[in-house]
């Protein structure tokens, strides 16, 4: 970062404590997704272990996988954080000290915690772990942020309900790292602290069991009679997704240190596409703040991932009725994830790919790679790895060979047009 950018940041925030450039923090539901998140530009990833996290339905990580993921991330200069963000009942705390010490031994850089009991236990028994305050604490004022800093926490993940003006004020008042969600699913409740799931299914949202009841389809009754008109669609209580790709300068100017993407349950294609777009936007701004311009291809790339309708959350105004999804969602993404490149032969221009959804000759596809590498083409002849002709790649994880119009590299992705 240039001296002028640092000085300007100091004038805006009144503080010098901020990362050299904003950290791009990506979700990883399993080890494969972790590797793709880092490969496509994440500075850090957050994962879940087998206990104490709020995504019990994600694949989550064993300690061996955490260690492997940390070693892979370190090769790229990236870090791994572990979510331990449940609100614990008494029985949940059995074994928590040993669990946190194992995270420390596995090379994890930080935990993300909400419950003060977990925070205090980590500080006592695993002092090498940084403790970041989870968004589940609904922190949105500088006095609360200062309290947590005085408790020894170097970073606070602000509530999704925090506005841009409030972020500026917090950064001005408190010399601490601020992490903010900038992309992904929003919650119809306050900072995810919902009890609908508990009521309907006896699955505790705040202990990792959310059944996403806000996404269910509902009828409306008065007494025992439906009051919905005949033929009217059932409604949901789900909110639109957050997207701040068009507002990178505002986030940096406000003093946000870590840009967090939601989505540990999302696909490899989603994680790679979204990280790729934000990586390019952040790097472009940091390279030339005065000459920065939003590129349409970054916005297009976001649109090619599987998003719900998008908005800017609470950053600029309180979302109104138009920011919720009431009827069946139209699938906005015009592409499906089709394959991962595993090898490329420069002499023949032939790529070997691992199938993730069916494709066949004649289909329109795109290849994408880190840094915005991208090109479109039609699928030509297909063969298996022994050279036998294929009329379609239909088997999951099948290795397939095809000619590409430009060079590709391992971990590049192929997606198919479904317009």
Reference 161, options 193, 194, 190; nearest CA is 190
What is the pLDDT, as a whole number, of residue 200? Answer: 79
What is the pLDDT, as a whole number, of residue 209? Answer: 67
Give me 113's structure tokens. Answer: 């915690």
> How would you classify the pairing of strands 335-345 and 413-417?
antiparallel
Please list the residues that pair with 414 across neighbouring strands. Answer: 339, 367
Cα 263 to Cα 85, 348, 369: the distances in Å are 15, 38, 20
What is the pLDDT, as a whole number, of residue 7? Answer: 39
Delineate the domains of the chain, giving CATH numbers in brackets. Answer: 3-191+238-325 (3.20.20.380), 335-417 (2.40.30.10)
What is the pLDDT, as a whole number, of residue 59? Answer: 64
Tokens 């936007």 map to which residue?
281
Question: Which residues 6+ apart lie within 8 Å of 366 measured at CB?
Answer: 304, 335, 374, 375, 376, 414, 415, 417
pTM above 0.75, yes or no: yes
Reference 153, options 182, 172, 190, 178; nearest CA is 178
Contact 112, 118 (CB under 8 A): no
pLDDT beneath 50: ranges in the chain: 1-17
Contact 42, 26 (CB under 8 A): yes
Helix (H) or strand (E) holding 303: helix 296-303
Reference 336, options 309, 375, 363; nearest CA is 363
What is the pLDDT, as a whole number, of residue 323? Answer: 80
Question: Which residues 6+ apart lie within 8 Å of 12 measured at CB?
Answer: 168, 253, 255
What is the pLDDT, as a whole number, of residue 56? Answer: 52
In this structure, what is the dihedral angle of CA atoms 104, 108, 112, 113, given to the nearest 10 degrees?
Answer: -10
Tokens 């986030």 map to which residue?
251
What is the pLDDT, as a whole number, of residue 54? Answer: 61
Q: For residue range 162-220, what is the model confidence (pLDDT) as tens digits?
A: 999 999 999 999 999 999 999 998 877 666 667 777 777 777 666 666 777 777 777 77
Number of H helices and E strands in the chain, helices first, is: 11, 22
What is the pLDDT, as a whole number, of residue 312? Answer: 94
What is the rounded CA–CA span in Å between residue 352 and residue 251? 40
What is the pLDDT, as a whole number, of residue 332? Answer: 58
What is the rounded CA–CA span in Å between residue 145 and residue 177? 10
What is the pLDDT, as a whole number, of residue 106? Answer: 95
What is the rounded CA–CA span in Å between residue 141 and residue 300? 35
What is the pLDDT, as a whole number, of residue 324? Answer: 78
What is the pLDDT, as a whole number, of residue 190? Answer: 67
Give me 154's structure tokens. Answer: 């170097």
Give me 32's structure tokens. Answer: 């494969």
- DSSP at 250: H
A 10 A CB-CB count for 287 gives: 13
Helix (H) or strand (E) holding 6: helix 3-13
- DSSP at 145: H
What is the pLDDT, as a whole number, of residue 187? Answer: 75
Give me 25's structure tokens. Answer: 């923090």
């Amino acid at each position: 970062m240039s001296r002028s950018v640092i000085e300007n940041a100091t004038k805006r925030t009144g503080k010098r404590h901020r990362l050299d450039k904003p950290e791009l923090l990506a979700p990883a539901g399993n080890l494969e997704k972790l590797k793709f998140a880092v490969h496509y530009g994440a500075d850090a990833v957050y994962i879940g272990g087998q206990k104490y996290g709020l995504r019990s339905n994600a694949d989550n990580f064993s300690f061996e996988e955490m260690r492997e993921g940390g070693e892979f991330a370190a090769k790229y200069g990236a870090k791994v954080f572990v979510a331990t963000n449940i609100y614990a009942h008494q029985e949940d705390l059995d074994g928590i000290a040993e669990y946190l010490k194992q995270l420390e031994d596995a090379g994890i850089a930080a935990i993300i915690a909400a419950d003060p009991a977990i925070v205090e236990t980590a500080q006592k028994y695993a002092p090498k772990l940084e403790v970041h305050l989870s968004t589940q604490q609904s922190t949105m004022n500088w006095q609360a942020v200062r309290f947590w800093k005085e408790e020894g926490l170097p970073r606070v993940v602000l509530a999704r309900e925090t506005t841009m003006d409030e972020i500026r004020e917090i950064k001005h008042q408190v010399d601490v790292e601020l992490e903010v969600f900038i992309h992904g699913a929003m919650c119809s409740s306050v900072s995810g602290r919902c009890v609908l799931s508990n009521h309907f299914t006896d699955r505790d949202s705040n202990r990792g069991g959310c059944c996403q009841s806000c996404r269910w389809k509902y009828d409306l009754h008065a007494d025992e009679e439906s009051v919905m008109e005949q033929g009217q669609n059932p409604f949901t209580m789900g909110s639109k997704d957050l997207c701040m790709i068009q507002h990178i300068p505002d986030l940096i100017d406000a003093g946000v240190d870590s840009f967090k993407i939601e989505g540990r349950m999302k696909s490899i294609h989603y994680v790679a596409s979204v990280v790729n777009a934000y990586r390019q936007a952040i790097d472009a701004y940091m390279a030339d703040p005065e000459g920065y311009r939003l590129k349409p291809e970054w916005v297009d790339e976001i649109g090619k991932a599987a998003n719900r309708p998008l908005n800017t959350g609470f950053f600029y105004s309180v979302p109104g009725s138009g920011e919720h999804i009431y009827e069946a969602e139209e699938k906005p993404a015009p592409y499906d994830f089709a394959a991962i490149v595993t090898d490329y032969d420069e002499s023949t221009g032939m790529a070997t790919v691992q199938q993730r959804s069916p494709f066949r000759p004649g289909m329109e596809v795109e290849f994408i790679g880190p840094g915005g590498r991208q090109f479109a083409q039609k699928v030509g002849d297909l063969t298996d790895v022994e050279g036998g002709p294929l009329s379609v790649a239909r088997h999951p994880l099948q290795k397939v060979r095809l000619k590409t119009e430009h060079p590709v590299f391992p971990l590049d992705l192929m997606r198919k047009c479904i317009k």
